[in-house]
A = this chain, B = another copy of it.
Amino acid sequence: MKNEKRAVTMSDVAREAGVALGTVSKVINGLPVGESYRRKVEAAVEKLDYRVNPSAKALKSNHTSTIALILPNTIIPFFALLTQYVNMALERRGYKMMLCFSEYDRDREQELISMVVQNRVDGIIALTYNPRLEIPKGVPFVTIDRFLGVSVPCVASDNFGGGQLAARKLAELGCRRVACLQVGSVLTTEPNKRKDGFVSGCMAAGLPFEICNPPDGASTTPLEIFLHRHLLETDHPLDGLFCSADLVAHQAIGIIRSMGLRVPEDVQVIGFDGLRILGDQEPVCSSIVQPISDLAETAVSIVLSNDFTGCTPLICLPVSYRPGGTTKDPA
A residues at B contact (CB < 8 Å):
1, 3-5, 51-56, 58-59, 62, 64, 73-77, 80-81, 83-84, 87-88, 96-99, 101, 118-120, 137-138, 246-247, 250-251, 254, 275, 277-282, 284, 306-307, 309
Contact = CB atoms under 8 A, between A and B. Distances in A.
Given A55-B120, A96-B119, A101-B88, A138 B76 contact: no
A330 to B, nearest CB: 21
B4 A281 contact: no
A324 to B, nearest CB: 13
Contact of A87 (B1, B101, B118, B250): B101
Nearest to A251: B281
Copies of this subunit: 2
12 contacts: A3-B137, A4-B62, A51-B118, A53-B120, A74-B81, A75-B81, A75-B279, A77-B80, A96-B98, A250-B278, A254-B282, A277-B277
Contacts of A52: 118
Nearest to A103: B88
Contacts of A119: 54, 96
Contacts of A138: 3-5
Contact of A74 (B64, B74, B101, B275): B74
A171 to B, nearest CB: 28
A64 B59 CA distance: 13
Given A54-B120, A254-B282, 20 more contacts: A1-B307, A3-B138, A5-B138, A51-B118, A54-B55, A55-B58, A55-B59, A73-B84, A74-B80, A74-B81, A74-B83, A74-B84, A76-B278, A77-B80, A77-B278, A83-B99, A99-B99, A247-B281, A250-B278, A277-B277
